[in-house]
Every structure is written in structure tokens, then in C-alpha cells.
Amino acid sequence: MMIAANKPPTFGLETPIDDCYGSCGYGYGYGCGPAPHQKRKLNNPIDEVQELQDTNKRRRIQNEKMKLVCGSCYCPKDNPEKPLGEDAHFISHFAQTIGVADGVGGWARKGIDAGEYARGIMNHAKETATHMAAIGAHPVDARKVLNEAYENNADVQGSSTACILSFDKERGSLHAVNVGDSGFMLFREAMCVYISPTQQRRFNCPYQLGNHVHSDRPEAAEEFQVEDMMPGDIIVLGSDGLLDNMFVSEIEEVLVAFNKVSGGRDCDCQELASTIAAVALFNSEDEDNVTPFQMAAEKAGVERVGGKIDDITVVVAIVVASST
């Protein structure tokens, strides 16, 4: 798997790490797998054999078309005044594009529901991606989707993060753009091989799209390209409600459990997304649990214990072989 980014992030590690909290980011940037534009170093002959096997496997599937099969789960936090919460997401199987946005809650102090901005961005993104695919744009350009969604949401107040991913069925590659502290992770054989970096100005203050003079524009988005994806690879896309409350190792444990239950069969994306969201929700309400948010707060000099109650969005996409 080869990963490239338009800005060299600082999270690259040569070997996977346990309980890394790069999923929450906050500018401290941890992650799994090799850094962009670097080849993984082979430490011993076993690694060399594995690398050769992986290369041969990629050659075998080079002419095999693939596609994403997706499912999602959304758990808005309990707020009678905002029953829809402030997260939003979309899935377009037709356009092979997915996205998530998280409305910035600080707007509530001004009487503005940032969830409306997030829902607008995601609705426009789905419409744009679907239109692009309908007129023959394969793959869909995730950055163009973000740009057009932002322009079409110009009359809505508020702001939000946004992360949009599109899949190239012919090449087996993933194109992603991200603004703020939503993000995605890639898993192969239940092990995390990549975590997208997040954008924060300071602790708990993400980059955010919006129409206010101080808001960010789509040009602030980081862009990523992931090559050599294979059937069985799993993408977990989420808002910070997920990333703040679950360590990568916890998601890996869920994937291992699902693999055991499925007995090698393709797992149910919807059920998997729901299970991950349920664990994140439990952690968010546990005042005694150590979470990525708590660890990030400590690094920033902020006293914080337990999880972070927030809207939680999880989108799971699994790469499968396709005849079309």
C-alpha cells in the first residue's frame, strides 16, 4: 500500500504501535505505517518474504475491479433542542464516495445550529458526487466535490469540519480530502496501516469550513492518495466523536471479533459500523475510562478525565471484488 499526501504530515512511524492516539490528533500526530513518500524498511527475511507475497498478490489483483460496500451509524448526543445533532454524513455507492462533517458547537452561543451547515455540506457533496459519476467522472474528484459543496452552502450560517473520500474502482486507489478533526483509518487483516492526520489550531479547536470571515476555505484541506488497496481492506471514517473516544487498538479488537464471527465471510458494514459506534458511545459516557481525548487534553495542559460526550458518526467501507 502506497500513501501520498499534499503536505508531509509528521505522524509516520516505521512500525505499527499499540494504543496510538493519532486518531484524535490535536497536532501531536501519531500514526501507523510508513510516512508518505517513504518505503517501508524490511527488518528481517520474514518481512522480505511477506513483502514479496504482498507484491505477488497485488499483481494478481491488478486487473481485478473492486468497489466499496458501505454502511454507517450515527449516534447524536442527547439534546432535545437539537435532535438531529451536529454531525452529518453521506454514502453514495453509485459515485463510490463517502463523507462526514461535524458542525462546530460553539455557534450555539450565537443561536446558530451548526448542524444545519454540516448537513448542507454533506447533502451538496452527495449531489455533486452523484452528478459527477452520472456524467462519466470515474473516479470522482474528492477535492472538486468539497469545493462545489462549499460553494453551494454559501447561504448557510455556521461551520463544520469535512472529510470526503472517493474510490477508484479501476485502479483500486482511494482519494481523500480533509479539513479539521474528522478523519479516516485504513485496516488490513484487522491491523491499522494508516491514520489520516487532523488539523487543529490548538487543543479542541479544529480547522473548520464556513462563510464567516474567520472560517477556513476548501483550500485549507489536506489531500491524500492511497494506492494498492486490496479486497478485504476496511476504511473507518468518523467524526471526532469516534476518534476522541476510541483508541485504534479498540477498533482492531472489534475487527478481530467480527472476523471470528464471520468465519472468513464478508462482514456486514452496517453491523460493524453500529458496533464501533456503540463502543465509542460507551467510552464517551464512562467518566473513569482513559480515552484519546483525555490523553490529548493532558498534553495540552488541560485537566480532563474520561470520555467526551459528543455526536458520534461512523462510516465503514469495505473493499470487495467487483464484476462491474
Locus of grid cell 465471510:
265
| Strand, coil or helix: 95 | coil
Q: Cis omega before residue 9 (within 30°)?
A: no
pLDDT of 30: 26
DSSP string, 240-254: HHHHTT--HHHHHHH
**pLDDT tens readout for residues 239-297:** 999 999 999 999 999 999 998 887 656 679 999 999 999 999 999 999 999 999 999 99
For the chain, what's the residue count? 324
Q: Say yes or no to pLDDT of 224 above 90.
A: yes
**pLDDT tens readout for residues 289-322:** 999 999 999 999 999 899 999 999 999 999 999 8
* Contact present, 242 and 312 (Cβ < 8 Å): yes
Lowest-pLDDT range of 44-53, 111-120, 142-151, 175-184 = 44-53
Query: Cell triple for residue 64?
Result: 481485478
